């Protein structure tokens, strides 16, 4: 699309450029958002900036036959697809219209998996990188994605709020995708989100946190009803890149499509060597995979399944894969036992496969995180994380340089710049529960996966969320400290984060003030938040 045709479309439709919530332009790649919340500046056919307005609202929804009020991005569940390209700059205006204090009236938005190089302040973690956005206020997240591509998502990072609905997909397309020859379609219709859903506000749910339903692209069933389900349409003989995102607050899912196998090509924003023949994918909270599905079966309807752990009483998540020409009805296909489920150790990076080298004599740092559970709280190395009264980043910018004095005391770990860090996390706490661990600001090499007793530094998978397994496991990751700022590391079961399962990696404390420059509006978040009565938090 040329600049002339863009402005002609704007004039005809009565839209304004990159400034209103209704601005939407379709590029020649047909990757436009169907939600009408995106504004793009385009030069030579490629976006150079992505401008979004994201309204955070309370609204009633009925995703599984039961109506409840939720916290929603853009008024929908999941929230609108946010998308761009490698190298894009994002300007996302978040407007807080929340009124229900049961699910928090304040909010933040975390852009999960985005490294936020030199923009730590835009990471969206309440009381680590910012104060929350107060009701009636707006905040601009302004960040560049640099060389990142792949599948990501966004969610609230305040209390349990994302369990109540504030979750949505985020995709960074690569115009020169090295896997592009493997598929024919990759657009907003090939994004798949998996979510647990609860009929009570998250703050009122008691352990063991059993979901009432599992939603695929925001729809599910709580019993044998005919409530609408998500339908993914394919044409026989075509190849589709599906982007699978677990937006779970708690459970992991076993995902499969009846009568089909897939080829894995991405894990958590990192291209992997193509791994074909996979017939089921166990995916933990916050993990993502891209897979290629070839529509090579007879024209029909096929169940898409997202199963929760054995013994859970939650009905399975269901959606429909419908071939062009098939009748519009529920599938009659049967579930079969997987013969080639995905194993993390079989995933290898497409490029630069080796893990970072590790040399303690050169200043590289080894950290072991022992996790325990007592009296309703998690403890990491004997300290239960609790949000500090002042964001960690603000403490550093105000002159605090000693990690042992930063709040919350005992939960902040100082790490030097441009060194390699190796973190080992023994499994087994609250077994048989398994915990997905996420590090902000980095992808890491998983040199020892759950279920393994040996390490791999030659070609271990890179990702940003790893399952640490159960008793006897000692999952180990490595990453390079090349991204200044405080970054939270936490269990992505949100109920566990909310009860202390987290630490903060304060990376290059001395260089933070020189390299991280928050916006002027960031400076106002804390004074406004601090002036609120407790009920408005």
pLDDT (tens digit, 9 = 90+) per residue, 62-107? 999 999 999 999 999 999 999 999 999 999 999 999 999 999 999 9
Residues 209 and 298 in one domain: yes
Answer yes or no: 479 catalytic.
no
| Residues of the domain holding 335 | 179-350
Question: Which residue bears the tokens 């080894």?
Answer: 366
Is there a single domain that holds both residue 523 and residue 376?
Answer: yes
pLDDT band at 226 (very low <50, low <70, confident <90, very high): confident
Q: Is 17 part of any domain?
A: no
Question: What is the spatial distance between Cα 466 and Cα 449, in angstroms, rounded to a whole number?
Answer: 8
The answer to whether residue 13 is domain-embedded is no
Active site residue 468: no
The one catalytic residue in 155, 179, 260, 442 is 155
What pLDDT is recorded for position 244? 98
Catalytic, out of 53, 90, 110, 479: 110
Range name among 24-28, 115-119, 323-327, 363-367 with the lowest pLDDT average = 24-28
Q: Find all residues with CB under 8 Å of 345, minimum gap 6, and list them.
A: 449, 452, 456, 461
Number of domains in the chain: 3
Q: What pLDDT is attached to residue 252? A: 96
Q: Is 117 a catalytic residue?
A: no
Q: Can you name the residues that pair with 31 across neighbouring β-strands?
A: none
**Dihedral of alpha carbons 197, 199, 201, 203, sign:** negative
Catalytic residue flag (residue 490): yes
Catalytic residue, chosen from 440, 444, 468, 479, is: 440
Burial class (CB in 10 A: 0-12, 13-18, 19+), 393: buried
Q: Write down which residue in 176, 193, 224 finishes a domain.
A: 176
Is residue 507 included in any domain, yes or no? yes
pLDDT of 96-135, one tens digit each?
999 999 999 999 999 999 999 999 999 999 999 999 999 9
Please provide residue 519's backbone torsions phi and psi, each rounded to the nearest 5 degrees. -75, 165
CA distance linking residue 464 with residue 445, whole number of Å: 9
Rounded CA gap, 80 and 55, in Å? Answer: 10
Q: Please state, for a pLDDT cut of 90, what percent of the chain lies above it.
A: 88
What is the tens place of the pLDDT at every residue in 5-61? 222 222 222 222 232 222 222 222 233 332 223 333 333 334 457 899 999 999 999
Predicted local distance difference test score (pLDDT) of residue 223: 84
> Does 112 qualify as catalytic in the annotation?
yes
Both structure tokens of 121: 């302040």
Assess whether 188 and 258 both reside in one domain: yes
Residue that is last in its domain, among 126, 159, 176: 176
Residue 301 included in any domain = yes
Q: Establish whether 233 is a catalytic residue.
A: no
Q: How confident is the model at residue 405 (pLDDT cuts 50, 70, 90)?
A: very high
Q: Which of 112, 117, 179, 260 is catalytic?
A: 112
Active-site residue, 493 included: yes
Which of 124, 141, 176 delimits the end of a domain? 176
- The catalytic position among 53, 117, 157, 260 is 157
27 in a structural domain:
no
pLDDT digits (tens, 9 = 90+) for 506-536: 999 999 999 999 999 999 999 999 999 999 9
Across the range 337-352, mean pLDDT stands at 97
pTM of the model: 0.91
Please tell me the chain's helix, strand, coil percentages from 3-state DSSP, rounded to the nearest 5. Answer: 10, 35, 50
Tell me the Ramachandran region of residue 234: left when phi exceeds 0, alpha when psi lies from -120 to 50, beta otherwise: beta
1 lies in a domain?
A: no
pLDDT tens for each residue of 255-290: 999 999 999 999 999 999 999 999 999 999 999 999
Average confidence score pLDDT of the chain: 91
- Number of CB atoms found within 10 A of residue 330's CB: 12
Q: Is the pLDDT of residue 2 over 90?
A: no
CB 310 within 8 A of CB 250: no
Q: Which of 344, 76, 66, 318 is nearest to 192 (CA)?
A: 318
- Report the pLDDT value the prediction gives residue 309, as an integer from 0 to 100: 81
Residue 170 has pLDDT above 50, yes or no: yes
Residue at 536 is within a domain: no
Strands (E), 342-403: 365-368, 371-374, 377-380
Q: Check whether residue 123 and residue 160 sit in a common domain.
A: yes
326 in Cβ contact with 224 (< 8 Å): no
* 210: alpha, beta or left? (left if phi > 0; alpha if psi -120 to 50): beta
Distances (CA, A) of 516 to 129, 417, 526: 11, 14, 17
Helix (H) / strand (E) element for 126: namely none
> How far apart are alpha carbons 21 and 30 in whole angstroms?
20
Among the listed residues 139, 492, 503, 509, the single catalytic one is 492
Residue 418 and residue 468 share a domain: yes
- Does residue 441 share a domain with residue 302? no
199 and 164 within one domain: no
CATH code: domain of residue 242: 2.60.40.420
Q: Is residue 19 part of a domain?
A: no
Catalytic residue check, 492: yes
- Whether the Cβ atoms of residue 408 and residue 386 lie closer than 8 Å to each other: yes
Domain identity same for 171 and 189 = no
User: Averaged over 339-351, what is the pLDDT?
Assistant: 98
Non-local (6+) Cβ contacts of 354 within 8 A are: 457, 458, 459
CA 54 to chain CA mean position, Å: 17
Assess whether 48 carries a catalytic annotation: no
| Catalytic hit among 438, 477, 479, 509 | 438
Phi, psi dihedrals of residue 489, rounded to the nearest 5° = -120, 125
Length of the chain: 537
Pair 231, 308 in one domain: yes
Q: Annotated catalytic, 146? A: no
Both 342 and 453 in one domain: the answer is no
Q: Are residues 399 and 521 in the same domain?
A: yes
Same domain, 377 and 301: no
Phi, psi of 510 (to 5 degrees): -65, -25
What are the φ and ψ backbone dihedral angles of 376, each rounded to 5 degrees? 85, 5
**DSSP letter assigned to residue 153:** E
- Distance from C-alpha of 289 to C-alpha of 191, rounded to nearest angstrom: 10
Residue 15: CB atoms within 10 Å: 17
Is 155 catalytic? The answer is: yes
Q: How far is CA 352 from CA 271, 445, 494, in A?
A: 11, 11, 32
Q: Please give the span between the terminal C-alpha atoms of the chain, in angstroms, as a whole number.
A: 45
């Amino acid at each position: 699309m040329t600049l002339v045709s863009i402005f002609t479309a704007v004039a005809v439709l009565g839209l304004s450029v990159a400034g209103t919530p209704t601005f939407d332009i379709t590029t020649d790649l047909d990757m436009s958002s169907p939600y009408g919340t995106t504004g793009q500046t385009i030069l030579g056919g490629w976006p150079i900036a992505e401008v979004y307005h994201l309204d955070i609202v309370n609204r009633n929804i009925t995703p599984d036959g039961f109506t409840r009020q939720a916290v929603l991005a853009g008024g929908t569940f999941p929230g609108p697809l946010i998308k761009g390209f490698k190298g894009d700059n994002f300007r996302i205006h978040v407007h807080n219209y929340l009124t229900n204090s049961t699910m928090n009236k304040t909010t933040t938005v975390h852009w999960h998996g985005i490294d936020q190089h030199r923009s730590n302040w835009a990471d969206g973690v309440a009381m680590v990188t910012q104060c929350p956005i107060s009701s009636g206020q707006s905040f601009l997240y302004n960040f560049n994605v640099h060389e990142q591509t792949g599948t990501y998502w966004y969610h609230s990072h305040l209390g349990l709020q994302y369990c109540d609905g504030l979750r949505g997909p985020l995709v960074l397309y690569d115009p020169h995708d090295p896997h592009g020859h493997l598929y024919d379609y990759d657009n907003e219709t090939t994004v798949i989100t998996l979510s647990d859903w609860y009929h009570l506000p998250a703050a009122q749910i008691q352990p063991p946190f059993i979901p009432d339903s599992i939603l695929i692209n925001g729809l599910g069933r709580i019993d044998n009803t005919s409530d609408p389900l998500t339908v993914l349409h394919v044409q026989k003989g075509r190849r589709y890149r599906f982007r699978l995102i677990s937006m779970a607050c708690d459970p992991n899912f076993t995902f499969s499509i009846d009568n089909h196998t897939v080829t894995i090509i991405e894990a958590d924003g990192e291209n992997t060597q193509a791994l074909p023949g996979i017939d089921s994918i166990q995916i933990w909270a916050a993990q993502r995979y891209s897979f290629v599905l070839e529509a090579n079966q007879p024209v029909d309807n096929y169940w898409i399944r997202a199963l929760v752990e054995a013994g859970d009483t939650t009905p399975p998540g269901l959606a429909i894969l419908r071939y062009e020409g098939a009748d519009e009805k529920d599938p009659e296909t049967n579930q079969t036992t997987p013969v080639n489920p995905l194993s993390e150790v079989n995933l290898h990076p497409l490029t630069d496969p080796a893990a970072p080298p590790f040399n303690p004599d050169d200043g590289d740092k080894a950290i072991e995180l022992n996790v325990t559970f007592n009296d309703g709280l998690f403890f990491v190395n004997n300290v239960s994380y609790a949000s500090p009264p002042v964001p960690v980043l603000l403490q550093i910018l105000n002159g605090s340089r000693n990690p042992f004095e930063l709040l919350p005391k005992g939960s902040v770990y100082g790490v030097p710049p441009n060194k390699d860090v190796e973190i080992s996390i023994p499994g087994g706490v609250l077994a048989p529960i398994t915990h997905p661990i996420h590090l902000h600001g980095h992808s890491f090499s998983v040199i020892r996966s759950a279920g393994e007793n040996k390490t791999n530094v030659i070609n271990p998978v890179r990702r940003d969320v790893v399952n640490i397994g159960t008793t006897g496991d000692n999952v180990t990751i490595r990453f390079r400290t090349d991204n200044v700022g405080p970054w939270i590391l936490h269990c992505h079961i949100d109920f566990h984060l909310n009860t202390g399962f987290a630490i903060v990696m304060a990376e290059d404390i001395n260089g933070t003030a020189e390299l991280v420059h928050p916006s002027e509006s960031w400076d106002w978040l804390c004074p406004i938040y601090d002036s609120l009565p407790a009920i408005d938090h």
